Amino acid sequence: MKLWFVLCLALLWVELQNGDCQQVKRRKDVGENRSRPGGKRVKVRHPKLKDGGGKGQSLLTQVLDKGRFLRLGQSTNLTPGKNIELRCKGNSIGWSYPTYLDTFNDSRLSIKQSDKYSQLILTSPSAADTGPYSCWVIVCDGTECEKDHERSYVSYIYFTDKDNLFVPSTIHFEIVYLRPDRPAVVPCRVTDPQATVSLHREVPPEEIIANGTQVTYDPTKGFVLQNPSPEHQGVFYCKAVTKGTPQISTKYQLLYVEVPSGAPFVSLEYSPESVRGGDNINLTCTVLGEPEVDVSFTWSYPGQGHRPVHIQTSWRLVNRGVSHTTRVTQSVMTVEDMETIDFGNYICKAKNQHGETIVTTDIISK
Ligand SMILES: *[C@@H]1O[C@H](CO)[C@@H](O)[C@H](O)[C@H]1NC(C)=O
Ligand SMILES: *[C@@H]1O[C@H](CO)[C@@H](O)[C@H](O)[C@H]1NC(C)=O
Ligand SMILES: *[C@@H]1O[C@H](CO)[C@@H](O)[C@H](O)[C@H]1NC(C)=O
Ligand SMILES: *[C@@H]1O[C@H](CO)[C@@H](O)[C@H](O)[C@H]1NC(C)=O
């Protein structure tokens, strides 16, 4: 029961990180290659998920008054407050929509599948619902179902709200990790694609000019820094103007990290250094890695199944100098009152999304 709960939490975490909420079980979605760039809210879309999708016209439509339909293109501007109904033709359809709607298990969203089409209804949409809405045909071969990438359609819907030029965020102070090997995104998205947006450093006050090469602005993503470097660290905010007074986004803390992505870098230590029967010992398995890369631990030990042990896992962010941030994840196993059965080989297995590292240590009786 407990394991099931932990698994659910882990899945939820993965979903949140991926930025999209899938209506189809993950298993069915094998073709999709999602990766996670610097900005948490940003999605890497399948290249075929472009305007109208692959073959033929988009099957994604908006139902207007009096039974009229509007085929949705790459982006759509809608008015907040007015309920929307989207339809996608087909008897088995998958949907994705902004994460926000699932994070709060929003009852404003409903999806119904009928014989001929699937219907997505969102009531009282607001600026926060701005984002990509996509549908695709699910093809099944027996019990194995998959997303048909050729028949996948997306429209980025802006719920333009002059009082919320920036898509509201539930986080007031976001952290953006900068890595030397990939672009970073300051995710100040807007609800009006016509808005003029600029990026500003707080201290010293400075505007970072988007000149189309190193720094670019995409209203559906935010500011993209092509080659982040330690100089880009600091507290930033975005400013947007249409008509009238400019609006300021939430703040973003940009942190530079240099730890490469890979299997965890692990060390295993124990204390005290010399152990005798009757002693209490702590074994500490430590992983140094990227700030948002989660690590899980598995222990194997001589008294496994016979002797109770206590295991505690925790993590913290450590600033090493001005330009590095490292996540230190630790699992500490405590064995009390060492018995003969407890001496021998202790194995710590640390796993992240990139791989697994195994470290061992031998505890011998002194
Ligand atoms: C996903 O994309 C990444 C980077 O583009 C690539 O390294 C990786 O092999 C891809 N994985 C799959 C399953 O296609
Ligand atoms: C989401 O809401 C529905 C109906 O309000 C409820 O049945 C369901 O259990 C909720 N799910 C979660 C994960 O909270
Ligand atoms: C854009 O700015 C970067 C640094 O801010 C500079 O290196 C680059 O040459 C500029 N590109 C253009 C086209 O001005
Ligand atoms: C083991 O860890 C606990 C909790 O951190 C600490 O109180 C205890 O002194 C440690 N014992 C040894 C032998 O290091």
Domains and CATH numbers, the chain: 60-159 (2.60.40.10), 173-256 (2.60.40.10), 265-363 (2.60.40.10)
Tens place of pLDDT per residue across the chain (366 aa) = 454 554 444 444 444 444 343 443 333 333 333 333 333 333 334 444 444 444 457 789 999 887 788 999 899 999 999 999 999 999 899 999 987 777 666 788 999 999 999 999 999 999 999 999 999 999 988 888 888 888 999 999 999 999 999 999 877 778 888 888 889 999 999 999 999 999 999 988 999 988 888 999 999 999 999 999 888 888 999 999 998 889 999 999 898 877 667 788 898 999 998 899 999 999 999 998 888 889 999 999 999 999 999 999 999 887 765 556 778 899 999 999 999 999 999 999 999 998 999 999 999 987
Helix ranges restricted to H, the chain: 2-18, 100-103
Q: How far apart are CA 322 and CA 324, in angstroms?
A: 6
- Does residue 211's CB lie within 6 angstroms of at least one atom of ligand 2? no
Ligand 3 atom index nearest CA of 208: 5
Determine if ligand 3 sits within 6 Å of the CB of residue 267.
no
**Three-class secondary structure of residue 344 per DSSP:** strand
Q: Closest ligand to 272 CA?
A: 4
For residues 271 and 333, give the distance between their C-alpha atoms in angstroms, rounded to a whole number. Answer: 11
Taking the centre of ligand 2 as the mean of its atom positions, its distance from the CA of residue 113, in whole angstroms, is: 19
The CA-CA-CA angle for residues 257, 259, 260, to 5°, reads 120
CA distances from 314 to 98, 250, 285, 295 (A): 30, 29, 11, 10
Q: What's phi and psi for 171, nearest 5 deg?
A: -100, 125
Contact residues of ligand 1, CB 6 A cut-off: 33, 35
> pTM of the full predicted structure?
0.60
